[in-house]
Amino acid sequence: MIFESISDAIQMCGQVVTPLGEETRCRGSYVWACYAVGLSVIIYNVLSPILRKKKLLKQEARRRLSERL
């Protein structure tokens, strides 16, 4: 799809032929919301194991320290 401006790319408007005639529909909000949800899931999937490992290492360090005393 080719857009004439950045604003058109963000709004993603286009002509749609319906039984009642031709109308302009903008789908940008739906598309960008889907991108945001998808990106959030990817970020969570990357960060979750890292944070879990960090928490586990801290717990293990505390446990070892308490065993020494």
pTM greater than the 0.85 cutoff: no
For position 1, what pLDDT does the model report? 63
> In sequence order, which residues have a C-beta less than 8 Å from that of residue 23 and are 6 or more positions away?
15, 16
pLDDT in tens, 13-67: 888 888 888 888 888 999 999 999 999 999 999 999 999 999 999 999 999 999 9
Q: What are phi and psi of 4, to 5 degrees?
A: -80, -20
- Sequence-ordered strand ranges (E) for the chain: 13-18, 21-26
